[in-house]
């Protein structure tokens, strides 16, 4: 379980290799007191702390493609990402390299923020177009909806959609509240979920924001209405509870089916490029991001045969989610319900 409350890490270290500098920074809008930013300094940059970031490649800097810490689609871009403190220093370096992701061939990178709600260990994702300022939120949580709305305003974005990957059982969605906090925002969920929303999506539909779009891929099994959202260049996928980092969502409630989930992941997610970044809806071990190739080869459940996978899932014997009795009814109404005190 993630730590709660303020945690001052003291002196913030930095790391540098050649033309890459990794710096731990405190950011006022982060759910955690530390974030990681990667800077690409010019050849004349002083050895001390970096100054304000200026977007784009440094004129005299050598190409970054192929550098071990840099995602191959990200040469010349900068990112800022929220890291769970338990991820550790080396994990921070690895994740920072992977999260330097941009829409291939589009110029300015996509804006991405990974946000965390500690009670249900839920990740919410804010994606935005830096040019049009249009944005979407994936899997917002009721308890952190005000935080998310404030971040949208601080970054000068216009939230078009609050999107859910499925009808959640462990928390109430924040999409209903966000509609009132940010006029113009519409709630979105799969039609097969049976839940209310402003817009219902189906397999193959696209959700556009500025120059970018998310492709909807049906990935049932955890629930019948689960979907995975894939950025239109296939550089990142938001898998909800279908695929977790070294795990997967459970299949013992809400009409779940282990066999269906197995085929969904193998046919709709594992067929993406190996370097496609995987962003799940939850993590309980301090992990933030993976790749298709890692999960194809290292996921202890989904590297099993389908028959073995079904046996494992049928024998988990997990307690039901604590909030399921009021979260599911509320989420069937787009989260428009006050939770019990």
Rounded CA-CA distance 28/6 in Å is: 12
End-to-end CA distance of the chain: 22
For position 233, which CATH number holds? Answer: 3.60.15.10
DSSP-derived pairing of the beta strands 186-190 and 199-201? parallel
State the pLDDT at residue 30: 34
Specify if 164 maps to a domain. Answer: yes
Is 261 within the bounds of a domain? yes
How many CA within 13 A on the CB side of residue 337? 17
Q: Give the model confidence (pLDDT) of 193-217 as tens digits.
A: 999 999 999 999 999 999 999 999 9
pLDDT band, residue 334 (cuts 50/70/90) = confident
Strand intervals (E) in 98-232: 111-117, 122-128, 134-138, 158-163, 186-190, 199-201, 206-209, 212-218, 227-231
- Partners of 290 in beta bridges: 278
Residue 320 lies in a domain: yes
pLDDT, residue 259, reads 98
- Asked if residue 118 belongs to a domain, the reply is yes
Within a domain: residue 90?
yes
pLDDT category of residue 335 using cuts at 50, 70 and 90: confident
Domain that holds residue 235: 20-41+74-331
- Residue 229: beta bridge partners? 216, 238
pLDDT tens sequence across 90-126: 343 344 444 444 444 445 689 999 999 999 999 999 9
In a domain, 283, yes or no: yes
Would residue 341 count as lying in a domain? no
* C-alpha to C-alpha distance for 227 and 204, rounded to whole angstroms: 10
Q: 305 by DSSP, 3-state: which?
A: coil
Helices and strands: H and E segment counts in the chain: 7, 18
In sequence order, what are the residues at sequence separation of 6 or more whose Cβ sits closer than 8 angstroms to the Cβ of residue 119? Answer: 143, 171
Residue 150 lies inside a defined structural domain of this protein: yes
Burial of 119 (0-12, 13-18, 19+ CB in 10 A): middle
Above 80 in pLDDT, residue 306?
yes
pLDDT confidence bin for 24, thresholds 50/70/90: very low
Domain count within the chain: 1
């Amino acid at each position: 379980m993630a730590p709660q409350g303020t945690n001052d890490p003291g002196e913030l270290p930095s790391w540098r290799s050649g033309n890459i500098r990794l710096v731990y920074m405190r950011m006022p809008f982060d759910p955690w007191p530390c974030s990681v930013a990667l800077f690409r300094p010019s050849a004349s940059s002083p050895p001390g702390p970096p100054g304000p970031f200026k977007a784009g490649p440094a004129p005299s800097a050598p190409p970054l493609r192929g550098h071990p810490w840099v995602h191959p689609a990200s040469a010349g871009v900068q990112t800022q990402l929220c890291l769970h403190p338990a991820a550790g220093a080396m994990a921070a370096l690895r994740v920072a390299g992977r999260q330097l992701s941009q829409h291939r061939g589009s110029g300015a990178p996509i804006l991405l923020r990974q946000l965390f709600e500690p009670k249900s260990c839920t990740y919410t994702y804010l994606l935005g177009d830096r040019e049009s300022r249009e944005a979407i939120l994936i899997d917002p949580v009721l308890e952190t909806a005000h935080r998310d709305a404030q971040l949208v305003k601080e970054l000068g974005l216009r939230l078009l959609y609050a999107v859910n990957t499925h009808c959640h059982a462990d928390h109430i969605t924040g999409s209903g509240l966000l509609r009132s906090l940010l006029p113009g925002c519409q709630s979105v969920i799969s039609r097969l979920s049976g839940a209310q929303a402003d817009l219902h999506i189906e397999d193959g539909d696209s959700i556009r924001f500025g120059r970018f779009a998310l492709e909807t891929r049906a990935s049932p099994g955890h629930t019948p209405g689960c979907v995975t959202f894939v950025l239109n260049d296939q550089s990142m996928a938001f898998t909800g509870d279908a695929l977790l980092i070294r795990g997967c969502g459970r299949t013992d409630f809400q009409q779940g089916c282990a066999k269906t989930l197995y085929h969904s992941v193998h046919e709709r997610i594992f067929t993406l490029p190996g370097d496609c970044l995987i962003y799940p809806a939850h993590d309980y071990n301090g992990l933030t991001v993976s790749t298709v190739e890692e999960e194809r080869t290292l996921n202890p459940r989904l590297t099993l045969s389908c028959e073995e996978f079904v046996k494992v899932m049928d024998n988990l014997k997990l307690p039901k989610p604590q909030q399921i009795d009021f979260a599911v009814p509320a989420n069937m109404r787009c989260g428009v319900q006050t939770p019990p005190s």
